[in-house]
Structure formats: structure tokens, C-alpha cells
Structure 1
């Protein structure tokens, strides 16, 4: 069973789901677009049942209490800062960090910027940003896959995504996420300002100081049918990790790994945490 939390930080209060004993080994799980903390419901419950203290927050823009108006407030430095602020509020010195999609990108950046705070890092779907940037420059397939990130910066994106009962957002899930779950995500994104806040993650600029190689023990889970991230960046991620590295390729699964194959992913995560 999961519980609901409110995590107070200087930026505002983050809504979250959690499970496990308060003194359990802490694990923070970060969701992607266009989802919410709920995408980790299965993993949070299982981790909690195994004695971990698992917490999954609705991130900046998704939590109504942390929904600033300025695009610049969604830069990576703020997203990583939120992770550390939440860990501080929870009383966590060192913790394990897990992310999917955008949450995976934040996890990689946090591992680069704050290696002393992380016991391990796990990214699901999202390759190391350095590997992705190189693939965008050298691999036509990845450049085509990532075109949406540029398209979504348009000021008309919200109108297009919410038209016809949010049909464009619904189709994004490729019918791999339960409809009731998708309905909940879209109801949240239909709140005033919520979709704009989520899209501001794409509109904000990236840090001027580039990301480096990660020394934190890392697990990267990539699925072969992921429409956003191809094999070039996925296979190159190993070159951007200097610490212990595990790469797990999941066959015949789409981008929505945490919800499409929850048991499989949870097993990989528990194995990884158990080794470190």
C-alpha cells in the first residue's frame, strides 16, 4: 500500500506517493512526461514491501504547489535542485535515485552534479545526456526521433495536445498504459497551467556547463521499441559512466517501461539496489 505525502521545500510543496518504513534505505523515483508520480505506484509499493523507503514525487510543474510561470524556472538546475531539496526535507543524506523519461535525464544530471549524495542512479529509457547529444549530431535516426522535442516548444502545442479530448496525448501512450491511468494523467494536465508547466521542461534552456561522465553506480534500462530513444545513444551510454555500470535491454517493450512491464522493471531495480 502507498501513502500520500506533501514534501515542503523552498520552491513549494511537492505532492508524492510513498511506501516502506521511515528508516528504510531511501529511494527517490522521478516520473516523465506526460505522467506523474503514479507511474511508479507498483515500484513504490514493492520497494516499500522489501523494506526500502520509496518516495515518488509529482515534479516541478506537475505538483500544483510548485508551478512557476517563467520558462526559465524549468531549467535543469532547478529540476536537480528540487531533487536535493526534497531529499533534504525527507532527512536523507545519501539515497538511490531512479528516473524515467525526463526523470531519467534529471537523474543523470543529479548524478553528475551531486555524486556525493547518490548511492546509485537508475535511468529507464533515457540515455546519458552526453550520449544523446552525440547521437543527435551523428545519427539521422535519433535526430528524427527527437524532432518532437523541438516541435513541442511551439506556443500552439497546448491547444493541439488538448484538442479532441486530448487525443494527441492519448495516442502517445501507444495503448500500453491502462486507460484509467491515462485518464488520470490527462485530467491533471487539463488543470489550468498544468500542461504549459510540463511543456516548459522542453522550452527551458539546458545548462551552459556540460554534463560529464558519471561515477555513481548506474543501471540503464532501455527497451527496443522505444520511439524516442534509439540504439545509438542507448549503446553509447556506457562510455559516459566510469563507475559500475549495468545495461539491461528489454525486448519488444515500448517507451512506457514502468507501467508496461512493472514486475520485470521492479525485479531489475531490486537486483541493482541489492548489489550496491
Structure 2
């Protein structure tokens, strides 16, 4: 049965969903934009039933208790710090980390900077930041796919996204996610300051210099119909992992993998966890 938690940290209290025995092997799942922890609802429930202790938080800006107002407070350092602070509060010295979309980017950075804390890394959709950076420099297809990231830094983005019953947000999901779930996301993002906080992930400056390779056992799942991330960065991600690496390509699946094919993704993650 899925539980609802409030996890206190120095930055504030994170809302989260969780399942599984308190002494189960810990798994932390990080959501992306414009979603929330409930995007992992299926995975959390199954992992809990399998004896894992699965926790998925509403991340910085999405949890009302951790919604700073300045853009600088949404940098990678702060986002990675939240991962460690949540794990510390839960009493997890080492844990398996799962991330999708922006949650995947945070997961990559956490694995690079704090490999001693992770038992395994499991990333969905988002390529390694080094592979993505190289694709943005050299691949016209990825440059076009990523134009939205630059567009969303504009101050008028909130108004455009919420106009006409949030039609722009609804189109993002390509009708691959249930309407009731999309309505829930829009309701959350319509709270005062919520959408600005979520967009501040895009507006914050990013670390200078090259990110390192990942040494922890890594699973990377990429889907062929992902509109945000093309094959160039996806296939190059292997070059940025020095540890054990598993790549799973899902045919005819969109960017919204956790909710579009929850059974398939959960099976792939479980298989990876079982080998660690």
C-alpha cells in the first residue's frame, strides 16, 4: 500500500509517496517536468511489494514546503543536495537511484559526484549530461529538440503554458498519459508560484566545465519516440559510464516512459536491481 510522507530537511519538508518495509533495500525515484512524485506511483507500489523500500519525493519547487523564490536556488548543487538530504533523513547510507527527465539529470550528477552513496543508477530518457552537451554542440537534430529549454527561460512562459486551460502543457504529454493524471499535474502547477519554481530548473545556471564519468552500475532506458532526446546523445551515453552498463531501447514509446509503459519499465528496473 502506498504511503504519503513528509520528509524534513534543512531546505524544508518534501512531500513523498512510499511503499515497502522500513528495512527494505532503499530506492529513491526522482520525477521530471511537468510531473510530480505520482508519476512513479506504479513503480513505487511494485517495488514495495517486492520488498524494497521505495520513496518518490515531489522535488524542489514541486513540494510546497521547499519552494524557494530565487532562480539560483535551483542549481544542480542544490538539487543534488536535496537527494542526499532526503536519503540522510531516511537513514539511507547507500541506495539505488532512479530518475526520469529532470530527475534523470539530477541522478546523473549525483552518481558522478557521490558514487559512494549509490548502489546503482537507473536513468530513464535523459542521456548523460556529457553526451547531451556534445550532441548540443555537434548534432543539429538535438539542437532543434532542445530549443524548448531556451524558450522556457523567458519570463512569459508561465502565462503561455497555463493559457486556454493549460493547453500547452496538455500537448506536451502527446495524449500518452491519462487525462486525470495530467489534470492533477496542471492543478499542482496552477498553485501560486509552483510553475515558476518548476521552470526555474531550466532558468538556473549550470555547472561550468566537463562532467565526469559514472563508475556505479548504470541502467539507461531510452525510447525511440522521445521528442526531447535523440539517438545521438542516447547512443553516446555508454562512453560516459566506466562501470557496468546496461542500455535498454524501447521501440514506439514516447518520452513519458514511466506512465506510458509502467509494467515494461518496472520489469527492466527490477532486473537491473536484482543483479546488484
TM-score, normalising length from structure 2?
A: 1.00
In 1, distance between residues paired with 2:206 and 2:137?
16
* Matched residue count: 276
CA distance in 2, matches of 1:209, 1:255: 28
Q: Note if 1:106 corresponds to 2:110.
A: no
Q: C-alpha separation between the residues in 2 aligned to 1:207 and 1:150? A: 16
Note the 1:1-276 alignment, pairs <5 A.
1-276=1-276
Distance in 2 (CA, whole Å) between partners of 1:3 and 1:171 is 31
In structure 1, how many angstroms separate the alpha carbons of the residues matched to 2:142 and 2:210?
A: 20
Distance in structure 2 (CA, Å) of the matches to 1:186 and 1:163: 11
Shift of 1:207: 1.4
Hey, what's the Cα distance between the residues in 1 that align with 2:196 and 2:8?
Answer: 23
Q: Which runs of 5+ in 1 are unaligned?
A: none
- Displacement of 1:242 in angstroms is 0.2
User: Is the deviation greater in 206-215 or in 166-175?
Assistant: 206-215
Determine helix, strand or coil for the equivalent of 1:238.
helix
TM-score after normalising by structure 1 = 1.00
Q: CA deviation at 1:208?
A: 2.6
Cα-to-partner distance string for 1:148-199 (whole Å, 9 max, x where unaligned): 0000000000000000000000010000000000000000000000000000
Q: Distance in 2 between matches of 1:207 and 1:78?
A: 12
SS in 2 for 1:251: strand
Q: SS of the counterpart of 2:35? A: coil
SS at match of 2:253: coil
C-alpha distance in structure 1 between counterparts of 2:139 and 2:208, whole Å = 23
Aligned equivalents of 1:207, 1:182: Cα separation in 2: 32
Q: SS in structure 2 opposite 1:253?
A: strand
Over 2 Å off, 4+ runs: none
> For structure 2, which runs of at least 5 residues remain unmatched after alignment?
none
Secondary structure, aligned partner of 1:5: strand
Q: Secondary structure at the match of 1:224?
A: strand
Shift in Å at residue 15 of structure 1?
A: 0.1
